[in-house]
Amino acid sequence: MGRGDAGADGTMGRPVIAPMPLADGLAGLRNRRPVIHSITNPVAIALAAGVLQAVGARPVMTEALEEMDDVVRAAAAVTVNIGMPSTARADAMVAAAAAARQAGRPWVLDPVGVGASPHRRGLMHALLANRPTVIRGNADEVLALADMGGLADGIGIDAQATVEAALPAAAALAQATASVVMVTGKVDHVTDGVRSFGVANGHPMMTRVSGLGCALTCLTGAALAVEPDPLTAAVLAAALMGVAGEIAATSVAGPATLAAGIVDTLFGLDARTFQRTLRVQ
């Protein structure tokens, strides 16, 4: 039984998350330097690799079907982002998800723009069949996913929904898929369908950084590599990104320097600053 299933059955009785284990998670990343295999879109790929390397993880980002099983087996966790789903890349996504399930690796699904086309929704079904450990999206994406599964009756899909509007859908989705669901926005919410946490860090300018959500998905993979409880791992990832964004935003001129500042802040973040800045609800 792989870690990929832990969210479904093994994590219900854990205590409330304290800052302490989160700082341990950061130390774990730096010490263990896990290999993370991420399929992400070309817009985000350099930033995502930068974020992974900044926390100590070692990114691999191949889309070659010929080596997918080899690479997934060598990785501690896998992440799949459905952006820019050209035929070859879509095949690679499904292969990576299947390999992760087969090898018992935890994996993160990012349903970016799932509402944009029937093609993405079809792809989503193929990916969900491989039981992601964590699903991370914005409110619209989580609402669209819940709607696909007939879980969003009466919720409605708003063009720019708030995180709060998506919380019932997130909980329903978590229960239906046995995944942890992270909905990111002003406050990032993480739920396994029973328990839920909010991470109230971050900065509004982060929404203008291209690929930052995709990078958070990759960071969630890194967190799963060092923290066996998917709910705690998802909170760790949201906390790292939120804290880094919040600190970096105090000294940058706009979204491009913010992107660089987040990578640099993650690289230099010490446990004390992390804990002091963290706001987990």
And the tokens for 10? 């093994």
* Phi and psi, residue 113, nearest 5°: 60, 30
260: contact with its own copies by CB under 8 A: yes
Q: How many CB atoms lie within 10 A of CB 141?
A: 27
Residues 225 and 141 sit within 8 Å (Cβ to Cβ): no
Q: Toward its own copies, which CB reaches closer, 100 or 280?
A: 100
Q: Which stretch binds its own copies (CB under 8 A): 99-107, 118-126, 164-172, 184-192?
A: 118-126
Q: Which two tokens stand for residue 95?
A: 């292969």
- What is the C-alpha to C-alpha distance for residues 45 and 51, in angstroms, rounded to an integer? 10
Report, in Å, the least distance between residue 258 CB and its own copies: 8
Minimum distance of its own copies from residue 277's CB (angstroms): 17
* 118 scored as a contact of its own copies (CB under 8 A): yes
E strands present in 107-179: 107-110, 134-138
CA–CA distances in Å: residue 127 to residues 17, 39, 65, 82, 111: 29, 13, 16, 9, 10
The residue among 80 and 171 lying less far from its own copies, judged by its C-beta, is 80
Interface with its own copies (CB under 8 A), residue from 116, 126, 157, 178: 116
Task: Please report, for residues 51, 120, 179, 194, the alpha-carbon distance to residue 176 in angstroms, rounded to integers and kept in the order given.
Answer: 31, 20, 8, 12
267 scored as a contact of its own copies (CB under 8 A): yes
Q: In the range 36-95, which residues lie near its own copies by CB under 8 A?
A: 41-47, 49-50, 53-54, 59-67, 70-71, 74, 83-90, 92
Residue 268 near its own copies by CB under 8 A: yes
Strand-pairing partners, residue 277, are none
The verdict on 261 binding its own copies (CB under 8 A) reads yes
- Could you give the 3-state DSSP secondary structure of residue 169? helix
Q: Is 161 in the site for its own copies (CB under 8 A)?
A: no
Q: Which is nearer to its own copies, 43 or 200 (CB)?
A: 43
Residue 14 or 125: the one with the smaller Cβ distance to its own copies is 125
How far apart CA 249 and CA 29 sit, in angstroms, is 24
DSSP 3-state assignment of 203? coil
Task: Kindly tell me which of 85 and 185 has the beta carbon lying closer to its own copies.
Answer: 85
Give the residue carrying structure tokens 């929704």.
Answer: 121
When the beta carbons of 49 and 171 are compared against its own copies, the nearer one is 49
- Site residues (CB under 8 A) for its own copies? 41-47, 49-50, 53-54, 59-67, 70-71, 74, 83-90, 92, 113, 116-120, 208-211, 252-257, 259-268
